[in-house]
Structure 1
Amino acid sequence: VLILPGFGNISHICVTLTNNDSLLGYYGLILAMAAIVCLGSVVWAHHMFMVGLDVETAVFFSSVTMVIGIPT
């Protein structure tokens, strides 16, 4: 969470130095969001597997995660 503002600053610096209107464009942002979703899902699945939760508890936590994550 603490590194995210650094990425924003780097993006603004790159846009300023290259004199472009946007850094990534529409498709770049879509691909970036897809990469974040994939990486987050892999990390979440790893944590559920390593903790050794049973299926019902994992389903509960996955449902709560989606309820919190989708509006965010």
Structure 2
Amino acid sequence: MAQPSLSMPDAMQTDIDDRRHSTTSRSEYIREAIALRFLLDDRDEHNLDALLEEARTDYLETTTAEA
């Protein structure tokens, strides 16, 4: 299995750790999030660009500003 590394704001890593179940590894949680992204990307009934913009506005820009 590939073992990529990725950068993220510290607050995002903390949020992942706070949200995931104690029996779910951080890697598994991130893999599941990516799989959900793929599903949304493949479906026509969702506006992925709008969802991503909302995520960037609500989460990513907030955590970047806090850093």
The TM-score normalised by the length of structure 1 is 0.38
Larger radius of gyration: 1
- Where relative contact order (Cα < 8 A, 6+ residues apart) is larger, the structure is 2
* TM-score (normalised: structure 2): 0.40
Structure in which a larger fraction of residues adopt helix: 1
